[in-house]
Amino acid sequence: MDVRFTPAGAPLAVRHDGQVWAVAEEPVHWFTRDSWWDTRRSAPMGVGNVVDIEHWKVQVRYTSDSPLRTFELRRNPPSEQWLLEAVTDN
The DSSP 8-state label assigned to residue 85 in this structure reads: E
- Computed on alpha carbons and rounded to an integer, the radius of gyration of the chain in Å comes to 15
pTM of the model: 0.85
User: What's the confidence (pLDDT) of residue 42?
Assistant: 66
The total domain count for the chain is: 1
Burial class of residue 50 (count of CB atoms within 10 Å of its CB; 0-12, 13-18, 19+) = middle
How far apart CA 14 and CA 67 sit, in angstroms, is 16
pLDDT digits (tens, 9 = 90+) for 62-86: 999 999 999 999 998 878 899 999 9
Domain limits for position 30: 2-89
Cα 70–Cα 72–Cα 76 angle in degrees, nearest 5: 165
Mapped onto helix, strand or coil, the DSSP state of residue 21 is: strand
Least confident of 1-5, 11-15, 17-21, 33-37: 33-37
